[in-house]
Amino acid sequence: MDNWVKKIRKRTNLVAGTIVFLIIVFVAVFAPYLAPTHPWDDADLMISELPPSGEYLFGTDSKGRDILSRVIYGSRISLSVGVISQLINSVIGIVFGLTAGYFGRLWDDIVVAVANIMLSIPSLIFALAVMALLGPGLINVFIALGLTNWAYTCRITRSQVLGTKNQNYVKAAKAMGFGRCRVMFLHILPNIFGPILVMASLGMADAILMEASLSFLGLGTQPPVPSWGGMLAGAREQLFTAPWLSIFPGLAIFITVLGLNLLGDGLRDLLDPHMSETK
Amino acid sequence: MKKKYPHDVVSSSGNIGSAAENPMLSVEDLKVYFPVETGFLSRRREYVYAVDGVSFDLKKGETLGIVGESGCGKTTTGMAVLNLEQPTSGRVVFKGQDITDFRKLSTETQLQLRKEMQVIFQDPYSSLNPRTSLDKILEEPMKVHGLYPSPGERRDRVAYLLERVGLTPSQGKRYPHSFSGGQRQRIGIARSLALNPSMIVGDEPVSALDVSIQAQIINLLIDLQSEFDLSYVLIAHDLAVVEHISDRIAVMYLGRIVETAPYDRLFVNPLHPYTQALMSAIPVPDPKARKNRIVLTGDVPSPRHPPSGCAFHPRCPERLAECSESAPGLLHKGQAHHVACHLVR
């Protein structure tokens, strides 16, 4: 146990990333209690575009809404997009990667070909195309981003399976007559979960950025629900006259994505056996 | 340290002779080739002739030792018997049932066969799932096969198995990484016993262990054989390891069996030059003993391009002209002693 404490202490990345992530989760969960005003109902044109002050810490936007409240509520969108779309990504990637690596042959060729095609399409363009098909809206953002980035998880999973499926404990499981699904999901998957987890935390950061981009382009979350990307889009014209409109949502994106990347890096260092051998 | 000698095994495992007509396992002309693609632009398909025509029988309660250098196909033979490798040709018959085309058998038959045949691996570190506790490792096969349906029965059985291989039931909550190599090998043995199999293939079950622990594990295997009524196929590269447990020994070289005999015949009167060379390499615990060591020159040829005729002829100290031309067949020299060599007629 002491060993673990020591290990974690040395990982500043992991600690910083975890703290940032936990703060975002906390803010998203308790948004109604933390936000001083309602993010869109409390609009008052009399107080539009006020600079940051003691009363409005982050200032107000062109419709007189408190930016702090909107940034706090925006975390809910970003976090749910990150978690849900990455969950979809991971499930798709794990299922295809596991089966491709385990069964090999034609199925492997097909999955690898499709994954390579997916990787060669710019992901924002692909997500845009899916959004154009489905129409704007938060649920559709989940689906579009969920379908976009699974190829990374798929490839990582597949390569890990290739290394693991010849381990003797997998052979022993086959020799005992365990079914394919049992071998794949109960014997191989738990042993390759580390790299998949790392991919998932990095993928979450990616998804949050993509959602911001989609909202910026007007295809993501629809107003008046605040999302960080949407807030940036609305603040574009006041970039020079009222910079706080874009600075605070931009900072929120930056800190969240940085935190998730640190978390992913830290997890990689922690879970990678090659790194942990060298003390 | 008390070592048990095979005489005990023979007497404890009953009357071997009467079972001769109906072997538990019969392997006929087994071949396993692995395709390899070579060439950068033009793909040429070549084969690794890992196992190239191996035949043997295993009687109920018998222990067959398969020895040979690394790369001679002994492990592949074991894996093909267990259907963890698909045979290219030949026949594997287990308890009177042809199991060569394992995947074409019905699911129930496959499960039944899996239950009957188990495996112990060489490397005790990679053979246990690192994310599974001991209890789970032993319980899972029982659950899958519906043995010992009630949780209480299963717990009792797990406790019994752990005790039987020299561990304590209280260790069942722990994970494989907290055990030593010898303990892990015991866990592997316990796992192979969980389904009450009738045959166990041991793929170099003691090669990765210290010599002192080797003896313990071999004695454990001997004890378990009589208690669980097991037949063993034990694969080893070390004659000294199999001599203490085998009833019969088969010597393999480059995908073929070159000599097979009851262990006492083989040790007293090895006929094949390769067997003689192996015998002379066994260390003798007497510094004054002068031994005639036969040191083979060269390496094992690549199984991709096996030599013509007898595969051993490039390294054979007594080769004849015909050795490079025709491959000798297995000749019966009496008392279950078979040898494939042109020198022996």
pTM above 0.95, yes or no: no
pLDDT single digits (tens) A72-122: 888 888 888 888 999 999 999 999 999 999 998 899 999 999 999 998 998
Are the Cβ atoms of B123 and A191 closer than 8 angstroms?
no
pLDDT single digits (tens) B209-262: 888 888 888 888 898 898 888 999 999 888 878 888 888 999 998 888 889 988
Distance (Å) from the C-alpha of residue B199 to the closest C-alpha of chain A?
A: 12
Q: Write a three-state SS string for A218-263.
A: CCCCCCCCCCHHHHHHHCHHHCCCCCHHHHHHHHHHHHHHHHHHHH
pLDDT category at A155 given cuts 50, 70, 90 is very high
Nearest residue, CB atoms, A168 vs list B110, B127, B141 = B127
CA–CA gap between residue A258 and residue A262 (Å, rounded): 6
Asked whether the predicted pLDDT for residue B163 surpasses 60, the reply is yes
Let me know: does B181 contact B125? Beta carbons within 8 Å: yes
Model pLDDT, residue B4: 44
Question: Angle at CA B149, nearest 5°, toward B143 and B154?
Answer: 75
Distance (Å) from the C-alpha of residue B141 to the closest C-alpha of chain A?
A: 6
ipTM exceeding 0.85, yes/no:
no
CA–CA gap between residue B324 and residue A240 (Å, rounded): 90
Distance (Å) from the C-alpha of residue A170 to the closest C-alpha of chain B?
A: 8
Give one DSSP letter per residue of B207-263, joined into a string: TTS-HHHHHHHHHHHHHHHHHHT-EEEEEES-HHHHHTT-SEEEEEETTEEEEEEEH
Task: Find the DSSP H helices in chain A.
Answer: 2-10, 12-29, 31-34, 67-103, 105-120, 123-134, 138-148, 150-164, 168-175, 180-182, 193-216, 228-234, 244-271, 273-277
Model pLDDT, residue A159: 92
pLDDT category at A8 given cuts 50, 70, 90 is low
pLDDT single digits (tens) B59-73: 888 899 999 888 888
Q: Which helix H or strand E contains B44, and what residues bound it?
A: strand B44-58
- Pull the structure tokens for residue B145: 């096969």
- Pull the structure tokens for residue A234: 């609305």
pLDDT category at B3 given cuts 50, 70, 90 is very low
Model pLDDT, residue B18: 39
> Bigger pLDDT: A236 or B191?
B191
Chain A contact present for B103, CB below 8 A: no
Q: What share of chain B is helix, strand, coil (3-state, %, to 5)?
A: 35, 20, 45
Chain A contact present for B85, CB below 8 A: no
Q: Where are the domains of chain A?
A: 18-28+66-272
| Range in A265-269, B138-142, B151-155, B251-255 the model is least confident about | A265-269
Count CA atoms closer than 13 A to B16's CA, side-chain side.
19
Are the Cβ atoms of B191 and A172 closer than 8 angstroms?
yes
Please give the single-letter amino acid code of residue A1.
M
Nearest residue, CB atoms, B145 vs list A168, A175, A177 = A177
Chain A contact present for B159, CB below 8 A: no
- CB-based burial label for A162 (10 Å; 0-12, 13-18, 19+): middle
Model pLDDT, residue A109: 92
Average pLDDT, rounded, for chain B: 83
Strand B256-262 vs strand B248-253: parallel, antiparallel, or unpaired?
A: antiparallel
- CB-based burial label for A253 (10 Å; 0-12, 13-18, 19+): buried
Is the previous residue joined to B197 through a cis bond, with omega within 30 degrees of 0? Answer: no
Q: Which helix H or strand E contains B157, and what residues bound it?
A: helix B151-164
Q: Does domain A18-28+66-272 match CATH 2.60.120.650? A: no
Are the Cβ atoms of B110 and A177 closer than 8 angstroms?
yes
Please give the single-letter amino acid code of residue B146.
G
Question: Angle at CA A161, nearest 5°, toward A159 and A162?
Answer: 65
Let me know: does A262 contact A14? Beta carbons within 8 Å: yes
The alpha carbon of residue B54 and the mean position of all alpha carbons in its chain are separated, in whole angstroms, by 13
CA–CA gap between residue B152 and residue B147 (Å, rounded): 12
pLDDT single digits (tens) A167-184: 889 989 988 888 888 999
